[in-house]
Amino acid sequence: MKRIMITGALGQIGTELVLKCREIYGTENVLATDIREPEADSPIKEGPFEILDVTDIERMKEIVSEFKPDAMMHMAALLSATAEKNPQLAWNINMGGLVNALETAREYDLQFFTPSSIGAFGPTTPKKDTPALTIQRPTSMYGVNKVSGELLCEYYHTKFGVDTRSVRFPGLISYVKEPGGGTTDYAVEIYFEAVRKGEYTSFIDKGTYMDMMFMDDAIDAIIKLMEAPEDELKHRCAFNLSGMSFEPEEIAASIQKHIPDFKLSYDVDPVRQGIADSWPDAIDTSCSRDEWGFAPKYDLDKMTEAMLNGVREKEAAAQK
Ligand code: SER
């Protein structure tokens, strides 16, 4: 990769991905796009930026023909809980945006990345050590979008020779940009509330295991996969990724090592709990490790330390 265009650049992953790519490939070589303008103080404004609605393929192609990237990272999408509230809109954005991005990549010969998710699995998928290739019968609209997206990316590779690559992300945890509308968001909110209030009410129930990963590991994984030699990739668009698996009591216990009085209570949201129950407890990441050297650095306690420090710094800066 030399010149990269990123859609959904102001989202949870995009925000950090743009900055890391600019650090590696040079500010001028990474074009950030999103449906809205960055905030006045956003570091994204320090490099190239264009407004782009991913359902507008003409505008997408126009931007590509002007910027001339060699890779596209298509991040624009609605997360699981938002998608479940408005499934038709989710289909239009998640699938309409993806097919436009793939068509653009085909026409302009771009290397292509888009994230899939643990949401691509369903209640009949093996819950533990979930293999990369297994039963996928998701029951949420987000899951239907993700499994269709994986297949569409594979199709664009076999049919048109586009160099498509994808990973199934678990819940991603970061203090830089809070997520919006995801089932795994509780594991981000808990750190913010631990610092702000010393307590948190979880919408996900005790005993619910889900895969998670610290954002730094997620960003490194995208770049590593995109730089991996193509002939070493057998699971092109179906790489499982995870840094850890935990349930709410375990993340609370990790926080209590730093904030001993931290209290966790529950007010379960049936929609998000239903989605979480349909996902695996812990997936097997061996093909990512074997084929392109995926090696996450953060476990739960290391992530807790980074999150609490990051949130504290952010809160202090906000009060100045
Ligand atoms: N974090 C995502 C969600 O909960 C999972 O891909 O929607």
CATH number at residue 51: 3.40.50.720
pTM, two decimal places: 0.96
Please check whether residues 9 and 148 belong to one and the same domain. Answer: yes
> 80 CB under 6 A from ligand 1?
yes
Please check whether residues 196 and 68 belong to one and the same domain. Answer: no
Instruction: Look at residue 290 and tell me if it is in a domain.
Output: no
Nearest CA to ligand 1 atom 1: 171
Please check whether residues 61 and 157 belong to one and the same domain. Answer: yes
pLDDT bucket at 178, cuts 50 / 70 / 90? confident
CATH number of the domain enclosing 184:
3.90.25
Instruction: Look at residue 293 and tell me if it is in a domain.
Output: no
Q: Which atom of ligand 1 is nearest to the CA of 83?
A: 7
Please check whether residues 29 and 80 belong to one and the same domain. Answer: yes
Range 172-181 average pLDDT: 91
Instruction: Look at residue 143 and tell me if it is in a domain.
Output: yes
Specify the 3-state DSSP secondary structure of 211. strand
**Cβ atoms 111, 72 nearer than 8 A:** yes
Instruction: Look at residue 233 and tell me if it is in a domain.
Output: yes
Please check whether residues 76 and 91 belong to one and the same domain. Answer: yes
Q: Which amino acid is at 71?
A: A
Q: What is the pLDDT of residue 111?
A: 98
Going from the Cα of 171 to the center of ligand 1, the distance in angstroms, rounded, reads 5
pLDDT tens readout for residues 71-130: 999 999 999 999 999 999 999 999 999 999 999 999 999 999 999 999 999 999 999 999
* Host domain of residue 277: 171-212+243-282+298-318
Please check whether residues 175 and 112 belong to one and the same domain. Answer: no
Q: Is 142 a catalytic residue?
A: yes
Which candidate in 108, 142, 156, 175 is catalytic?
142
Q: What is the pLDDT of residue 118?
A: 97
**Cβ atoms 277, 210 nearer than 8 A:** no
Say how many domains are in the chain: 2
Instruction: Decide if pLDDT at 69 tops 90.
Output: yes
Going from the Cα of 234 to the center of ligand 1, the distance in angstroms, rounded, reads 25
Going from the Cα of 297 to the center of ligand 1, the distance in angstroms, rounded, reads 21
Please check whether residues 42 and 116 belong to one and the same domain. Answer: yes
DSSP sequence for 166-204: -EEE-EEE-SSS---S-STTHHHHHHHHHHHTSEEEESS
Specify the 3-state DSSP secondary structure of 72. strand
Going from the Cα of 79 to the center of ligand 1, the distance in angstroms, rounded, reads 6
Please check whether residues 92 and 42 belong to one and the same domain. Answer: yes
Please check whether residues 235 and 250 belong to one and the same domain. Answer: no
> 169 CB under 6 A from ligand 1?
yes
Q: Which atom of ligand 1 is nearest to the CA of 169?
A: 6
